[in-house]
Structure 1
Amino acid sequence: MLPQAKRLNDVKEYYFSTKLREVRSLIDQGKPIINLGIGSPDLAPPATVMDALKNADIHGYQSYQGLPELRKAMALFYKKYYKVDLTFENEVLPLMGSKEGILHISMAFLNEGDQVLIPDPGYPTYSSVTKLIQAVPITYALKEGNNWWPDFEEIEKSDLSKVKIMWVNYPHMPTGSNASQKLFEELIAFGKKHRILIVNDNPYSFVLNDHPKSILSVSGAKDIAIELNSLSKTFNMAGWRVGMVVGHKTYLDAILKVKSNMDSGMYYGIQKGAVEALGLSSDWFDDMNKVYKERREIIWKICEQLDCTYDKESSGLFVWAKIPSNTNSTELTDHILYDYDVFITPGIVFGSQGEGFIRFSLCVDRSKMMEVLGRLNKPQIS
């Protein structure tokens, strides 16, 4: 057999890809698994968005930069909710999901051997894509005692001369920590000081969060920062694959060089649906978050049954819970999976700093969550 490329030697299959195969196998064996591990919205997109998709009648290739009206809608969305001015012609680039953007950004700015600052805990794709590009991931610890924010003094103890990109993600996944304006200002100052491109991955702004923020709201941010965003969680359109990268024209031009060689444009109907979604009133977020608040209350009760603690001020689509000190995250989640038929994500998946925590998704109907409560019935954890 033809051997795989060397770039795959340090890259593992995505955790959820392998674990969900195991979960499906258990279901096939007749196990009544309830999945509280995956952040795939189960709620429907807005009805007007569905109508726009159904009424689409253009099926040819589309522009690599997306419809002008989509870019306009994205720019207006940023102005309305983040108070950020973007020129739609060249400061907005639609993507087929923001995950695509992680690869495109990395390909556009990293050479072999360049270094990348990656949060721990954080989204595993930042590290795996860095390795695929044959750059070097350098993790920086996020700690509970520091609100899951970077410790700049600690980071600056290392040689940063080879670092080209710093990934940040606020509201943070998996912890739900929110950034302050001061933190964003510090990130921009750090990026300028060390000539490091700051990339904020920002898909959770509107989930259980009354104060959405963009790093581009900081004065001078466009000089050294770009931002990824997505309609997946905001409008329950995860499978549609609609995201965006926004920032200075120079950065987006480089990303477009990669993107235009990787796809042939986003389906017209999806773009029209995205335009419709971006123009909705804030009532949409209020109604969506009412559902998530009810579900989160139940997850908090599940946490208490498991003797876990949690932060009621966190945002996003998950509850990040601290487990009892006499166990570890994998042991606990495997125990719950095999003995109670409930899948929860162990914190170690997100990095070494995630050990001692587990993550619950809010993307499950409350009746299923109540069933989990009944199944657990205060398990004894040893």
Structure 2
Amino acid sequence: MKGFATRINTVEEYYFSAKLREVNQMIADGKPVINLGIGSPDRAPDRTVIDALKSTVEHPQAHGYQSYQGIPELRIAMAGFYSREYGVILNPGKEILPLLGSKEGIMHISMAFLNPGDQVLIPNPGYPTYSSVTNLAQAEPIYYDLDLLRKGKPNLEALEQLDLSRVKLMWINYPHMPTGAPGSREILTELVAFAQKHQIVLINDNPYSHILNPEPLSILAIPGANEVALELNSLSKTFNMPGWRVGMLCGRADWVEAVLKVKSNMDSGMFLGLQKGAIAALNLGKNWFSDQNEIYDNRRKLIWKLAEKLELSYDPKATGLFVWCKMPEGKSAEELVDWMLYEKNIFITPGKIFGSQGENYVRFSLCMPEFKILEAINRIK
């Protein structure tokens, strides 16, 4: 054995992969752990989605290999979703690529665009996978800060002072995870102009647009974005389907085609039943979103109460599936996380896993029923 590839030394096991093993072992040992750490929706998909999956399973032809690009009906449903929800018109045959989850799309995009030594702009704090995939592609992450008081506006003035000649990609994420910064049309417009000026591929990771967010936005609705931007989207959070692994990449046809070259060599097509279920989900009406948001709004109010008991501060205008909380001056986020888990059997996420700007923060998930959050509040009492 001559050893592993050097790229494996650039990453660690994903935080939640390791931490959930510990949490699950605690539960197996009889500890009543309340998981407020991970953003895995606890509610089921709509009944029509499950029925579409079930009915497809009965067809003998459903179990063979499927197209790498998904069935035409799925791409048409994705295009219809973008038209209704964002006002964006996409060609379902050329500008949409179904994915086995949008997380995998981060790797496909990076493999399609990055060479060793290229640079990638990554938000700090931000989704850890942007950094790990960049490192695995032997590119260099360059981190940029967000102004949370201005809806997560990037510090583009600071970036303009850098040598950007090696920057190939820029990851953005609105509504932002983990902070809940909503972004805005104005911010996206500035980012499109920045990408045009510096010939950077701009990728908006957009899985939270319909969760506690009154104005769902797509970067592809911004004038000029179709020249410089791609967008990842997902059914995981929006439609309570994280385990189904259904995502999509949208944008200019030649870039989508390049990503397909990578994807088609790394995975095969999506099971037909999942595609039929995804079509049913994408065709749900506005009531689905309003009903979901009513539930999440009630949960968020309870999380705010929990945060206040812990003397944490938060932004009530933030959106998305999480509540991002700042520690009191002089208090340690890591110590709070450990105390919550080992003394109170409540799992929350330390902000530091999202980057250096998350050092004094913790994150709460809304993916627990109200009675569990109330129980967590009572444990703190």
TM over 0.5: yes
Tell whether 2:286 aligns with 1:315. no
Name the residue aligned to 2:229.
Answer: 225
Question: C-alpha separation between the residues in 1 aligned to 2:183 and 2:336?
Answer: 30
In the TM superposition, residue 147 of structure 1 has moved relative to its aligned partner by 3.5
Is contact 1:118-1:139 (8 Å) kept? Answer: yes
2:148·2:181 contact (CA, 8 Å) conserved in 1? no
CA distance in structure 2 between the aligned counterparts of 1:83 and 1:145, rounded to whole angstroms: 28
2:256 corresponding residue in structure 1? 252
**Letter of the aligned partner of 1:54 in structure 2?**
K
SS at structure 1 position matched to 2:266: coil
Partners of 1:120 and 1:350 within 8 A in 2: yes
Q: Find the aligned partners of 1:325 and 1:357 in 2 and give their Cα distance.
A: 11
Are 1:345 and 2:349 an aligned pair?
yes
Matched to 1:226, the amino acid is L
Match of residue 245, structure 2, among 237, 241, 244: 241
- How many residues were matched structurally? 377
The 5-angstrom pairing of residues 135-146 of structure 1 reads: 135-146=139-150
- Aligned mates of 1:67, 1:210 — CA distance in 2: 31
Task: Say yes or no: does 1:34 pair with 2:38.
Answer: no
SS at match of 2:329: coil
Return the offset for 1:148: 2.6
Give the counterpart of 2:275 among 262, 265, 271.
Answer: 271
Alpha carbons 1:142, 1:353 under 8 Å: kept: no
2:337–2:348: 8 Å Cα contact kept in structure 1?
A: yes
Could you tell me which of 282, 287, 290 is aligned with 1:283? Answer: 287
Equivalence map 1:165-244=2 (5 Å): 165-244=169-248
TM-score scaled by structure 2?
A: 0.97
Structure 1 contact 141–150 (Cα < 8 Å) conserved: yes
Query: In the TM superposition, what whole-angstrom CA distance separates every residue of 1:60-86 from its partner, at most 9, and x where no partner exists?
Result: 000000010100010011010100110
Deviations, residues 209-266 of structure 1 (Å, cap 9, x unaligned): 1110000101110100000000000100000000000000011010000011111100
Corresponding residue for residue 305 of structure 1: 309
Shift of 1:2: 4.9
- Name the TM-score, length of structure 1 as normaliser: 0.97
**Matching of residue 79 in structure 1 with residue 83 in structure 2:** yes
Task: Give the C-alpha shift of residue 310 in structure 1.
Answer: 1.1
Cα displacement string for residues 175-212 of structure 1 (whole angstroms, at most 9, x for unaligned residues): 11111111010000000100000000000011111110
- CA-CA distance at 1:313 after TM superposition: 1.1
1:357 offset after TM fit, Å?
Answer: 1.1
Counterpart in 2 of 1:25?
25
1:119 and 2:114 correspond: no
Letter in 2 for 1:175: T
Separation of aligned partners in 2, 1:145 and 1:286: 27
Q: Which runs of 5+ in 1 are unaligned?
A: 378-382
In the alignment, is the contact (CA less than 8 A) between 1:340 and 1:376 conserved in 2?
A: yes
How far apart are 1:145 and its partner, in Å? 3.9
Poorly superposed stretches of 4+, deviation over 6 Å? none
- Provide, for residues 266-318 of structure 1, a one-character-per-residue CA deviation record: whole Å limited to 9, x for no partner: 00000000011111111000111111111111100000000011111111110
Quick one: distance in 2 between partners of 1:227 and 1:144?
A: 22
2:264 corresponds to which letter in structure 1? S
Matched to 1:7, the amino acid is R
Q: Which amino acid in structure 2 is aligned with residue 39 of structure 1?
A: G
2:74 to 70, 77, 87: 70
2:325, 2:363 within 8 Å by CA — same for their partners in 1? yes
Cα separation, 2, equivalents of 1:4 and 1:86: 42
Counterpart CA distance in 2 for 1:168 and 1:142 is 10
Q: Which residue in 1 is equivalent to 2:97?
A: 93
Q: Is the 8 A contact 2:102 2:248 kept in 1?
A: yes
Report if the CA contact (8 A) 1:143-1:353 is conserved.
no
| Identity level (%) | 59
SS at match of 1:208: coil
Unaligned runs of 5+ in 2: none
Q: Separation in 1 of the partners of 2:319 and 2:71?
A: 32
Which residue of structure 1 lines up, in the alignment, with residue 47 of structure 2?
A: 47
Cα separation, 2, equivalents of 1:227 and 1:269: 25
Do the aligned partners of 1:222 and 1:247 also contact (CA within 8 Å) in 2? yes
Question: 2:296 is aligned with what amino acid?
Answer: Y
Paired with 2:81 and 2:276, the residues of 1 have a C-alpha distance of 15
- The alpha-carbon deviation at position 114 of structure 1 amounts to 0.5
* 1:380 alignment counterpart: none
- How far apart in 1 are the matches of 2:363 and 2:113? 32
Give 1:146 deviation, angstroms. 4.1
**What one-letter code is carried by the residue in structure 1 that aligns with 2:45?**
P
Q: Which amino acid in 2 is paired with 1:79?
A: S
Q: Secondary structure at the match of 2:153?
A: coil
